[in-house]
Chains A and B, each alone.
Chain A
Amino acid sequence: MAFNITRRKFLQSASLAAVALPLSGAIASESGITRSPLEPKGSLKDETVVGGVCEMCFWRCQLVGKKRGDRLVKLEGNPKSIDNGTTICGRGNAGIQLLYDPDRLKYPLKNVGERGNPKWKRISWKEALDECGTKLKAIRDKYGPQGLCMFPHGATAKYPMHFMERTIGTHNVSEASFFQCRGIRDTAYLATIGKAPNEDVDMANAKVIFLLGCHFGENVHVSHIKRYIQGLQNGAKLIVVDPRYSASAAKSDIWVKIKPGTDTAFLLAIMNYLVVNKKYDAEFIDEYGEGFEEFKQGIKDWSLAKAAKECEIPVAQIKEVADMLAANAPNVSIHPGRHVSWYGNDFQRQRSLACLTGLLGAYFVKGGWVPGKAPKVGKTSWAKKDHGDEHNLNRNADEEPLYPYSPPGTPTDLIRDAALTGKPYPIKGAVIWGQNPIQTIPGQEKMKKVLQQMDFVMCVDVMPTDITMWADILLPEASYLERHDLIKTGTQWDFADKQQQYITARMPLVAPMFERKDHVYITNEIARRMGYEKDIPVQTVAELVDKDLSVAKLSLAQLKKEGGIHLLEGKNPYEMPDDFEIYFYNEDIADAGFPGVPTYVPVEQSPAGYARLLYGRVPLHTFNRTQNNVWLHHAMPDNPVWINDKVATKMGLKDGDVVGFINQEGVKSRTTTTVKTTPGIRTDAVFMAHGYGTANPLMSVAVNAGVDDTSLITKITVDPETGAHGMRTNFVKLTKDGKVIDIPAAV
């Protein structure tokens, strides 16, 4: 656009005053630049700020921030840390790019378009909170608290989740970290040893490390990896069970190239072999075991040969694994895994892992499962109130749980089915906090329909992830570098070192930019508008953290003074608790109508022409959460699909070919990726990294980069004991240049 006058002419013209004078009357905003009474400064102050706790993944490494003025220029491990130490991983380093990502949410937004096809308008916090409060209250008043549901994730979602569950009183909360990840592991171990296992294996001091599906090196959690590497350096043998030659398999002494879905058969055969050949820890079982006889009976059919056939691996290899474990027991790390929602038969597999650990006597011993003893802090939150089980979807007509080993919350599809059918009651309001259900929960179209039928959907997040396209109101949250939130406690990473404990709390390294707010502020303001003013437990997040720290006679100020981390003397981690028991056979599980002895349930096989879709991690992304990070995207811009090289040759594919996918239900991938041919994967499966293929164009770096594996997980499989999803039960063919290519069954 050109004006019909030059600037110079205009500025010199007699009419300048006539034009400019009225303009001055139109200026209403205060200037953000002021004359400074200060002496002009030539440089910005450099300083190191303590108290950071990383959240580029869930591991929570302790950080310090290097600042220049108020700008964060670098993140480093906190030298006082006895956990990650001065080390942080690539993602941890890239936190700066999240903080300053231009695509991040900045102000409250209102969707004046449609759900799924939004048109955003910036609004004030007051308007946003009024709208959230009014709408949620209206739904509660009309449909009852059960008319509201929540999909939370992450450290900041706990406080609002407790508000929803404890104060408002809805059971309809589904955490991805439970129902699409580790919940099965936790309840299976709870039903076996009475404790959720975390990843608490003393790998640093183990003689054998046994990994089932865990692919360290591709997943990176600093102190966890330190334990693993230390163990390997000390000479531990490594057994890796995986259909794919993962980064861990590459370091292994034995790689068991198992057929997907058959892991439990493999574990049962090992256990039966140990029992039959008396290679188990009889003394340990005498002392701590329950139901061992029933267990022995229950697994007795599992010969090595039977498992070898089922798992498509050599008999000799199963024997070799079993002997290696027995020879090094009890100093063996049987890793409980983390993301275990695989095939819909997962509870029994996780029980098997817990039992195998018991057979080897590998609890509370060097190299075994050792949880470490962390100091106690408070747990301030919304007060618990009894809201009864009348509207608990996880109850049958006799008031018995449908999924007795469900992790806390309600199994996702009970919520989604109720929302879609209106039975037993309608669910009309959704609060989505830090979770991206579009890319975490199988059945994307179902999820979209669930959201479509809501009266109101609100999202709180740091990034405009795919789910945020479905929000009516979208609130920008302060990131982990800009807020207080959790307290983390733990021990030194290597139990061979002097026993120590630590307490740290996440503190902001910089002030939040734009209008980002923290979870306590947002929740409290909504609570006020819904009439729960009296129930508010704390006014600010700093108050909450201080209250919890006071249990350990600490405060934020004191922590800060101590460099962000408070160290205490530790306790012997190997001391066996008095009440330790291990249930090889669990009567309660049997009473609930499920196998009380670990049992293998075969899974559906690939239809002809298809291969099973497997997915996993890459070291420089935390699934979808880091996809828009410029540095990380640059390092790993897409998710090539692994295909067995012989299969690829037969299909006429070579490295770098661009392919799409179509699954067994005819659902096509929206985007494409490249082929990676390798002998390091079975012929009946393909593999890709999870979390790619963002659809939201607001994520300008991530959008359409790679393929969204979740979009292909349309068949919904549910683990019968827990209600958690099985996510490796879908099958794909490839597409190339518009043509569908079958994947040959045998080569």
Chain B
Amino acid sequence: MVTNPKMPIQSATDHIATLYRFCAQSMQYPDSEWFSENYLSSLYGLLDALGGSAEKEKLQTAFSRSKDILEELQIEHTRLFINGLPHVAAPPYGSVYLDKTLRGKYSDDILLYYRSLGYDLAAHADLPDSLIHQLEFLSFLAEDGNREGEEEFLARFFLPWYPMFAAQVKEEAQHPFYRIIVSFIDFFTQEEKEYGVQHNEA
């Protein structure tokens, strides 16, 4: 393995862990606890770094037109992920896509996988197969430098459903925010399908 001399592995994995956590954060129900100026400027920073100036502009335009940014996102989140019209567009749970139900066998398998690597769900947690928890789990794996685990988890659990979810969000979203967030998640997870997890040049 060839490492990038400018980027010590430890710190790169920490940053990747942060990226996963940031994605997970962005999928939480919007409230003022986290959806802040600080959050937005981080989001814009990330878009800048990824060359997403067009997306940034769309987002800023949408926000500038909004009477109440937070409420607008709350409505959009409810519609897309909880109970929406014409139907809940994209439930953020893998089981819905793979087992056609909430809490199918897939959700047990993923829970067992978390446990097999020494993790568990916290008491306040959502269902085991929630997108947020999958991203949080990836973040822990990255932090631990467990690339093999990350790769296996993405291949076995995450990628079999996430593209279906992302496609539905992209199709149904009315606000650019969630389109951008699912694209981030795509960006940080998708390429692995082709190349495997490569935090640094292999």
A residues with CB within 8 A of B:
1, 3-8, 10-36, 38, 40-44, 68-69, 71, 97, 99-103, 105-107, 109, 112, 118-122, 464, 513-514, 630, 697-700, 703
Checking A3, A25, A109, A630 against B183 with a beta-carbon cut-off of 8 angstroms, the contacting residue is A3
Checking A34, A42, A100, A103 against B116 with a beta-carbon cut-off of 8 angstroms, the contacting residue is A42
Contact B84 A40 (CB under 8 A): no
Contact B122 A32 (CB under 8 A): yes
Write the chain A residue with the least CB distance to B91: A102
**If A8-B201, A17-B15, A38-B120 touch, does A102 touch B96 (CB 8 Å cutoff)?**
yes
Contact B122 A34 (CB under 8 A): yes
Bound Cα distance A23, B52 (Å): 16
**Chain A residues whose CB sits within 8 angstroms of the CB of B121 once the complex forms:** 32-34
Checking A20, A31, A121 against B19 with a beta-carbon cut-off of 8 angstroms, the contacting residue is A20
* Cβ proximity bits B132-174 to A, threshold 8 Å, 1 near / 0 not: 1100110110000000000000000000000000000010000
Could you list 11 examples of A-B contacts with CB < 8 Å? Answer: A1-B183, A5-B49, A27-B21, A29-B34, A33-B125, A33-B133, A42-B112, A100-B104, A120-B79, A697-B87, A703-B86
Residue with the greatest number of chain B CB neighbours at <10 A, chosen from A3, A8, A121, A630:
A3
Bound Cα distance A23, B47 (Å): 12
**Chain B residues whose CB sits within 8 angstroms of the CB of A23 once the complex forms:** 18-19, 21-22, 42, 45-46
Write the chain B residue with the least CB distance to A33: B136
Contact B49 A19 (CB under 8 A): yes
Report, nearest first, the 3 A-B pairs whose CB atoms are least far apart: A4-B51, A32-B125, A700-B87
Bound Cα distance A43, B46 (Å): 40
Number of A-B contacts (CB under 8 A): 227
Residue with the greatest number of chain B CB neighbours at <10 A, chosen from A14, A26, A698:
A26
Contact A40 B115 (CB under 8 A): yes
Q: Which of B48-87 contact A (CB under 8 A)?
A: 49-52, 55, 71, 74-75, 77-79, 82-87
B residues with CB within 8 A of A:
4, 6-7, 11-12, 14-16, 18-19, 21-22, 24-25, 28-29, 33-34, 36, 38-39, 41-43, 45-46, 49-52, 55, 71, 74-75, 77-79, 82-88, 91, 93, 96, 100-104, 107-108, 111-112, 114-122, 124-127, 130, 132-133, 136-137, 139-140, 170, 179-180, 183, 187-188, 190-191, 195, 198-201
Contact A15 B115 (CB under 8 A): no
**If A31-B136, A630-B101 touch, does A36 touch B119 (CB 8 Å cutoff)?**
yes
**Chain A residues whose CB sits within 8 angstroms of the CB of B91 once the complex forms:** 102
Bound Cα distance A34, B82 (Å): 25
Bound Cα distance A738, B6 (Å): 72
- What is the minimal beta-carbon distance from A450 to any residue of chain B, in angstroms? 23
Contact A17 B11 (CB under 8 A): yes
Contact B77 A122 (CB under 8 A): yes
**If A1-B55, A44-B112, A109-B78 touch, does A25 touch B42 (CB 8 Å cutoff)?**
yes
Bound Cα distance A433, B52 (Å): 48
Write the chain A residue with the least CB distance to B189: A7
- What is the minimal beta-carbon distance from B200 to any residue of chain A, in angstroms? 6
Checking A4, A121, A698 against B50 with a beta-carbon cut-off of 8 angstroms, the contacting residue is A4
**Chain B residues whose CB sits within 8 angstroms of the CB of A35 once the complex forms:** 118-119, 140
- What is the minimal beta-carbon distance from B68 to any residue of chain A, in angstroms? 10
Contact A513 B127 (CB under 8 A): yes
Bound Cα distance A238, B20 (Å): 68
Checking A17, A100, A697 against B102 with a beta-carbon cut-off of 8 angstroms, the contacting residue is A100
Contact A698 B88 (CB under 8 A): yes
Checking B18, B52, B188 against A7 with a beta-carbon cut-off of 8 angstroms, the contacting residue is B188
Contact A19 B45 (CB under 8 A): yes
Checking B75, B83, B107, B137 against A106 with a beta-carbon cut-off of 8 angstroms, the contacting residue is B83
Bound Cα distance A11, B34 (Å): 25
- What is the minimal beta-carbon distance from A41 to any residue of chain B, in angstroms? 5
Bound Cα distance A284, B111 (Å): 67
Bound Cα distance A38, B38 (Å): 36
Write the chain A residue with the least CB distance to B4: A12
**Chain A residues whose CB sits within 8 angstroms of the CB of B45 once the complex forms:** 19, 22-23
**Chain B residues whose CB sits within 8 angstroms of the CB of A14 once the complex forms:** 6-7
Bound Cα distance A78, B170 (Å): 46
Contact A26 B39 (CB under 8 A): yes
**Chain A residues whose CB sits within 8 angstroms of the CB of B38 once the complex forms:** 25-26
Checking A10, A34, A69, A703 against B108 with a beta-carbon cut-off of 8 angstroms, the contacting residue is A69
Checking B12, B33, B85, B117 against A118 with a beta-carbon cut-off of 8 angstroms, the contacting residue is B85
Contact B33 A29 (CB under 8 A): yes
Checking B77, B103, B136 against A32 with a beta-carbon cut-off of 8 angstroms, the contacting residue is B136
**Chain B residues whose CB sits within 8 angstroms of the CB of A120 once the complex forms:** 75, 78-79, 82-85
Residue with the greatest number of chain A CB neighbours at <10 A, chosen from B50, B104, B139:
B50
- What is the minimal beta-carbon distance from A345 to any residue of chain B, in angstroms? 42
Contact B115 A105 (CB under 8 A): no
Write the chain A residue with the least CB distance to B184: A3
Bound Cα distance A595, B79 (Å): 56
**If A22-B42, A34-B120, A703-B87 touch, does A10 touch B50 (CB 8 Å cutoff)?**
yes
